[in-house]
């Protein structure tokens, strides 16, 4: 019997269009609850799909600091999150929670 090779799931590989990215972020916002690291990681996945170098240029932040901040392990400021969301061409949405 042959060996099965597995590899880690990479969300960024499946985010091909702007719509994919927006829907992915929307789903992550719904799923995250109060887990800010989950949202930062989701933005990191979108950033890698679009290109971290391009994002660094648009935000004025360094690539390495973006990788760290959006890893799910970092603790980015809300200002950084807003810059990243804007540079990715996305919008955050709010609605009343019944």
Q: For the residues 16-30, what does the mean pLDDT come to? A: 94
**Residue 84 · residue 43 · CB < 8 Å:** yes
**Residue 8 · residue 77 · CB < 8 Å:** no
Is 80 exceeded by the pLDDT of residue 73?
A: yes
Confidence (pTM): 0.86
Q: What is the DSSP letter of 71?
A: S
Q: Cα(52)–Cα(86) distance, rounded to whole angstroms?
A: 14
- Report pLDDT digits (tens) over 5-20: 888 888 888 899 999 9
pLDDT at 68: 94
CA proximity to 49, closest of 23, 83, 79, 80 = 23
The encoded tokens of residue 73 equal: 């392990």
> Cβ neighbours of residue 45 under 8 Å, at least 6 residues apart?
11, 12, 15, 24
Is 80 exceeded by the pLDDT of residue 98?
A: no
């Amino acid at each position: 019997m042959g060996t099965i090779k597995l590899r880690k799931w990479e969300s960024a590989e499946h985010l091909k269009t702007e719509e994919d990215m927006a829907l992915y972020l929307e789903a992550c916002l719904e799923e995250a609850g109060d887990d800010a690291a989950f949202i930062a990681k989701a933005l990191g996945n979108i950033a890698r799909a679009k290109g971290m170098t391009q994002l660094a240029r648009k935000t004025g932040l360094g690539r390495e600091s973006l990788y760290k901040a959006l890893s799910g392990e970092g603790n980015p400021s809300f200002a950084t999150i807003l810059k990243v969301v804007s540079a990715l061409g996305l919008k955050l949405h709010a609605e009343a929670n019944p």
